[in-house]
């Protein structure tokens, strides 16, 4: 998202024009192919109509305990949200207009092995890396977070994401022309402060960090309601919270070791 603010035209060219090129190639040459598009929770914007409460370690949405479903109004924010949202809608429209076998998945946070994180992408792995750096060298400079650390996302392990896409491909004729929210769900929701608490417990260290201003259009709460894709395909997340933490730590440790 931060890159899209700095260079919105490149973001447009990649997400909108790139998707249009693919849709046109499929329409003209492979209309029977299945296209599963990875969209974003940013298409829902700031969820201005959601009433949030601030708790000790997180924000909560008491009126949406199961999370955000697909009936939430689209409200594209940031250049990234606009480009992903535009492509999201084109993918659905090509199913309606041209009969392509397409479906859309609106993601929250995917994490896990082989995700090479950086400051503005792959935030779960990024904070694991920062925690390991502080464990190896207590004099390491504190890392930074945007906001107060209570912002919440639902975390979907990459193994669960892959299994969903494979099942969706097998059942493409059942789900075509539809958009689905896809995330870890309420059971796998986590704030930054809660993630840091897990890292402290696993590594036995005290994390040092400083707080910056909120990022532009950073949602304070976003948790996916997966019930639509579950009803359509039977898919549900399988990786537990405990496995999630230990597997990610093992991967980041292995990737970080020289």
258 versus 212: the higher-pLDDT residue is 212
Given a cut of 80, whether residue 241 has pLDDT beyond it is no
In this predicted structure, what is the pLDDT of residue 142? 96
The per-residue pLDDT of the chain, averaged, comes to 93
pLDDT digits (tens, 9 = 90+) for 94-140: 999 999 999 999 998 999 888 888 777 889 999 999 999 999 999 99
Confidence class for position 217, pLDDT limits 50, 70, 90: confident
Given a cut of 90, whether residue 207 has pLDDT beyond it is yes
Q: What is the CA radius of gyration of the chain?
A: 19
Given a cut of 80, whether residue 257 has pLDDT beyond it is no
Assigned fold of 2-256: Rossmann fold (3.40.50)
36 versus 216: the higher-pLDDT residue is 36
For residue 215, what is the DSSP state? P
Domain residue ranges of the chain, discontinuous segments joined by +: 2-256
This prediction has a pTM of 0.93
Task: For CA atoms 189, 193, 199, 204, give the dihedral sign.
Answer: negative
Q: Which residues are CB-neighbours of 29 under 8 A, at least 6 positions away?
A: none
Confidence class for position 14, pLDDT limits 50, 70, 90: very high
Residue 19: Cβ within 10 Å count: 21
Strand positions, DSSP E, 83-125:
101-107, 109-111
Which are the catalytic amino acids?
A: 80
Given a cut of 90, whether residue 163 has pLDDT beyond it is yes
Q: Write 49-56 long-range contacts (CB < 8 A, 24+).
A: 49/73, 50/221, 52/220, 52/221, 54/150, 55/150
């Amino acid at each position: 998202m931060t890159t899209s603010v700095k260079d919105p035209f490149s973001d447009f060219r990649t997400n909108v024009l790139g998707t249009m090129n693919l849709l046109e190639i499929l329409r003209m040459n492979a209309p029977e192919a299945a296209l599963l598009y990875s969209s974003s929770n940013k298409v829902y914007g700031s969820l201005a109509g959601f009433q949030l409460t601030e708790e000790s370690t997180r924000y909560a949405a008491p009126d949406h305990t199961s999370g955000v479903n697909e009936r939430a109004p689209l409200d594209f924010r940031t250049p990234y949200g606009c480009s992903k949202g535009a492509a999201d809608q084109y993918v659905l429209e090509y199913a309606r207009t041209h009969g392509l076998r397409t479906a859309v998945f609106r993601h929250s946070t995917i994490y896990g092995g082989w995700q090479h994180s950086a400051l503005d992408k792959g935030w779960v792995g990024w904070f694991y890396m920062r925690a390991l750096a502080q464990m190896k060298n207590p004099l390491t400079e504190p890392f930074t977070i945007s906001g107060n650390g209570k912002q919440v996302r639902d975390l979907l392990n990459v193994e669960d994401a892959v299994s969903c896409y494979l099942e969706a491909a097998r059942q493409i004729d059942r789900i075509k022309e539809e958009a689905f929210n896809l995330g870890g769900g309420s059971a796998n929701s986590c704030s930054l402060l809660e993630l840091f608490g897990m890292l402290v417990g696993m590594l036995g260290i005290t994390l040092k960090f400083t707080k910056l201003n909120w990022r532009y259009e950073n949602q304070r709460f976003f948790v996916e309601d997966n019930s639509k894709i579950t009803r359509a395909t039977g898919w549900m997340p399988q990786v537990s919270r405990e496995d999630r933490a230990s597997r990610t730590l093992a991967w980041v440790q292995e990737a970080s070791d020289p």
